[in-house]
Amino acid sequence: MKTEQKMYTMKEALIFSQRIAQISKALWKSVEKDWQQWIKPYDLNINEHHILMIAFHLKGASISEIAKFGVMHVSTAFNFSKKLEERGLLVFSKKVEDKRNTYIELTEKGKNMLLDILEEFDPETNSVFQGTLPLKEFYGKFPENMEIMAILRNIYGKDFIDIFETTLDNIDKEFIEEDNRLIKKP
């Protein structure tokens, strides 16, 4: 029997693991606070807003797509979608060619609310954005976090990252800037 040659020591593994755990907790707590602050006037929580965004960018999505790309449980995706449906922000449907999955699609009201929220986005009050500006100043561009993206690709798979990039491309292609606000192209 060959002795298995480990690529790392336990100490290295633990230190890396603790580092990434603390970094990601601290970063997420700031992101979460900024995000909550941003959508507060619309009486939405983060999961609800995330559902609206995914359905918007994918032009309709199944509950399992919402759960996957929103990194939430299927039951969470379903329950919050239900609440958004009750508020008239989205509708549920079945597709003729796929009767097993439940799809959601934004209503006009849902789309308008999402676009209003995007228009309201204010980088000045976003602590993570403000914390990043010196890097942008120094490097001439915002960090792209390629290492973290590579880690997430290994954990969540290629299509997770693809959808992720698609939603960012959509913002780039479908919006124009007017008076410091982002407006959807007609």
Q: Figure out which of the listed residues 96, 147, 158, 185 binds a second copy, where binding follows CB under 8 A.
A: 147
Could you say whether residue 158 binds a second copy (CB under 8 A)?
A: no
CB nearer to a second copy: give 88 or 123: 123
Could you say whether residue 74 binds a second copy (CB under 8 A)?
A: no
CA-to-CA dists, residue 33 to 36, 37, 125, angstroms: 5, 6, 11
| Nearest-approach distance from CB 28 to a second copy, in angstroms | 4
Could you say whether residue 115 binds a second copy (CB under 8 A)?
A: no
Could you say whether residue 164 binds a second copy (CB under 8 A)?
A: yes
Q: Figure out which of the listed residues 64, 91, 160, 184 binds a second copy, where binding follows CB under 8 A.
A: 160
Which residues bind to a second copy, rule: CB under 8 A? Answer: 7-31, 34-35, 50, 71, 118, 121, 123, 126-137, 142-145, 147-156, 160, 164, 167-168, 171-172, 175, 177, 180-182
